[in-house]
Amino acid sequence: MEFAQSLIDACLVADVGGTHARLGWARADGAIDVHDVETCRGAEHASLGAILHDYLRRLHALQPGVRVRSAVVAIAGFLDGDRLVNANLPWEVSVRRTAHDAGLASLQVINDFEAVARAIPGVRRSLLVPLTAQDDPGMQSPALVLGPGTGMGAALCLDAEGREVLLSEAGHAALAAGTATELEVLQRLSRRWPHVDNERVLSGTGLMHLYDALADLRGAVPRWRHVAPLVEAAAQGDDALARETLDVFCGWLGSLVGDLVLTVGARQAYLAGGVTRHIAPFLHQGDFARRYAEKFTGARTPPPLWRIDHGQLGLVGAAMHARTHWPARLARVEPIPEEQA
């Protein structure tokens, strides 16, 4: 006697950055867990729809009992109607086209740092690495979440459950110099761009802009073209320019975090993002903490500040968003007419 296999209603969740995309799925009920996580390089696919479609094809082959009809994609940028505005992706994104190409009935695109901020309250405190000398009072709001990656993301978690999140465009606010070296770097960058925003320096691509500007300032010839070998050379200790680049980067980042904490009245701050993970030793031993603490004068104590070692915050936040909106409020996507398909 054969029994029909019970189906699991699930939502596809994805965290898409300028370089990599992470994908998984979460159940409609039960604990917020993300299953069958995969990572791929965005540039190796023709579109976001192709990434989602390929993942679902593999998932259905491995897990035929998992039924996925909807998705939440956390991605940098913002929606202008049906189109995503983002300068760091290898392809354009249309919500309708993406849903059509992936074979989804509903698709919601949310900002990647909205997802990260939603996930913060659920992060185990044991995974937090303090960046300043501090006690841990537990999750307190509002909490600032900042992340240098391909670009720079920032958001504010307004409650202890991650239901209310305030997005920001802090990465595109003007970069402020706090030292003579930073001012000279800023002057050089302003020759290339009329508006030098925070992510021109304080991001993965920005780290290379900083390196080139410091090379010009020191009269040196740049040796490195990519972040990974630059960070490795700085860690080896035999490349003075590479080490200065990381030291300046960390000090400048600490200054920015302090400014943003003051601006939004945050009671806590968290650093996430791929760049943060790669440069962790420099954050802990350089000027980062000092420049952060210097923003809080008089008797005011700097709010607690942590680094998060968690590679799936965007996925967890997307799953939390899906749970909050499941099932009726997930935006259904109108099908594309056959002549446009």
Residues of the domain holding 275: 124-309
Is 29 inside a domain boundary? yes
Let me know whether 166 and 295 are in one domain.
yes
Let me know whether 152 and 230 are in one domain.
yes
Let me know whether 305 and 319 are in one domain.
no
Instruction: Note the pLDDT of residue 285.
Output: 87
Give the burial class of 11: count Cβ atoms within 10 A of its Cβ; 0-12 exposed, 13-18 middle, 19 or more buried: buried
Chain-centre distance of CA 207, in angstroms? Answer: 16
Condensed to tens digits (0 to 9), the pLDDT of residues 129-188 reads 999 888 888 899 999 999 888 888 899 999 888 888 998 989 999 999 999 999 999 999
CB atoms within 10 A of CB 281: 13
Let me know whether 276 and 322 are in one domain.
no
Take residue 44 and report the two structure tokens written for it: 């190796």
pTM of the prediction?
0.83
Let me know whether 178 and 279 are in one domain.
yes
In this structure, are residues 240 and 114 in contact, taking their beta carbons and an 8 Å threshold?
no
Let me know whether 136 and 243 are in one domain.
yes
Is 2 inside a domain boundary? no
Instruction: Tally the domains of the chain.
Output: 2
Condensed to tens digits (0 to 9), the pLDDT of residues 94-129 reads 999 999 999 999 999 998 888 989 888 888 888 899
Is 199 inside a domain boundary? yes
Let me know whether 84 and 136 are in one domain.
no
Let me know whether 265 and 147 are in one domain.
yes
Domain harbouring 67, CATH code: 3.30.420.40
Instruction: Note the pLDDT of residue 42.
Output: 85
Domain harbouring 157, CATH code: 3.40.367.20
